[in-house]
Amino acid sequence: MEATAEEVDRAVRAAHGARAALADRTVRAAFLRTAADLLDEARAHVIEAADAETALGPVRLTGELARTTAQLRSFAEVVEEGSFLDIRIDLPDPDATPPRSDMRRWKIPLGVVAVYAASNFPLAFSVPGGDTASALAAGCPVVVKAHPDHPATSELCAALLRRAAAKEGLPEDVVVLVHGFDAGVELVRHPLVAAAGFTGSVRGGRALFDAAAARAVPIPFHGELGSLNPVVITPAAAGERAEEIGAGLAGSMTLGAGQFCTKPGFVLAPRGEDGDRFLAALTAGVSETEPAVMLDHRMRDAFVTGVAERGALDGVRTPVTPGAGGEHTVSAGVLAVDADRLTGAAATDHHLLLEECFGPVTVVARYSSREEVTAVLGLLPGNLTATLHIAERDEDGDAAPLLAELTPLAGRVLVNGWPTGVAVAAAQHHGGPYPATTSTSTSVGATAIERWLRPVTYQSTPDHLLPPELRDGNPLGVPRR
């Protein structure tokens, strides 16, 4: 049932009232671990519910649930270790110019965080996912706007999180769930919501981002909106292992019916015999892929329309024709075009080839010179990832300059790998220049917690008035600079 404006208001106020209960880091860490344990214990029910609503399959969902619970436990460790507080202490120095007082800086939670669940990850990027886990780890209660593609899964997971809170002596309202499109708009506008995290489309995310900025008191909006995830294959790499690269790309771009945010959707490959071998291997790999069910009919219709529009452009070839695979399925495909079609006067509607098409399709642009590669890269928007395939056995002269060209385009740059599969790790960055994300933050990995914190400095404050983490002698033993 869709929440009314009054119900959204009650949900936010309930979460806001639970803020103080999350102040204790030890309790927060225990809560996150208990939530992970309860999700694991309910594994069969969670996977059954998610599969019934998404058709992603038990194998995929089992892995996603494992990722989700590992994420919760990882943030419990982050909370206990304490580096996320970013404590910095400057002792007084009257001889400095200008003189310096005693200053002690740390980070505090922002307040209630609105989380917008994703369609393509009903667990890892939804109710119990990374935005929720990192916000709770920061000490922020969350109000989650469930995705309409998996409402029952959302209710089940929210109930488990609330039960975990109760088991650790916390108010259940540290996690609250609401449903409905209008509820999502009301949520980002609510004066007690302090920040928001979103994973979804450019159109939906931009509307919420604009609403967050238009408030009387604007709030941070960390949105993951869309990404083309370009791949560049050097001539030396194609000459060395064209078939291997083609097969790897086929597996990556069809994984999960092409519905991963890191799907490689655009490839610059050399012309010539080695480039032909790569394209033949890619074609063979994609041709062997069975038709797949997408997350909902709206996405399926958008995919079928999108690939048809792109395939009809002048000069676009279809080594494997993507589109409707059946009444409810889609067939994966490959579109190919000469790179020079994307630049210059002939590139009328070819900008479509440089926009994400959500689903199992990739565009291969064949280039004949480094100058063409540079020209096309200069047209690309911001991305979550960018991938470079270079020669492994011998030094590849194109490697360093191309790596430098790809770095401004993405938050994660891969060499001789594939971007699908985002490890939960301290060094991970899952974000990128707009429209990949609306901020410079990551939504995956330990530093995702930074989105929900703000720094405060105490100056010339008596020791007994300071938070324990900032007091002389470091009684809690947290990392400090």
Could you give the residue numbers annotated as active site? Answer: 224, 261
Report the alpha-carbon distance of residue 451 to residue 441 in Å, rounded: 7
CB 416: neighbour CB atoms within 10 A? 16
**Which two tokens mark 165?**
């809170």
Burial 19-49 (b: 16+ CB within 10 A, else e): bebbeebebbbbbbbbbbbbbeebeeebbbb
Q: E-strand spans in 138-260?
A: 142-145, 175-178, 193-199, 221-224, 230-233
Indicate the residue type of 183. A
Separation CA 350–CA 346 (nearest Å): 8
Q: Which two tokens stand for residue 381?
A: 């928007």
User: Distance from first CA to last CA of the chain, Å, rounded?
Assistant: 50
Relative to beta strand 333-338, strand 317-320 is: antiparallel
Sheet containing strand 221-224, strands side by side: 175-178, 142-145, 112-116, 193-199, 221-224
- Residues β-bridged to residue 222: 197
64-67 long-range contacts, CB within 8 A, separation 24+: 64/121, 64/122, 64/123, 64/124, 65/39, 65/40, 65/123, 67/123, 67/124, 67/424
Tokens in use for 148? 């309409």
Instruction: Answer whether 432's CB lies under 8 Å from 411's CB.
Output: yes
Q: For 83, how many CA atoms within 13 A lie in the half-sphere containing its CB?
A: 7
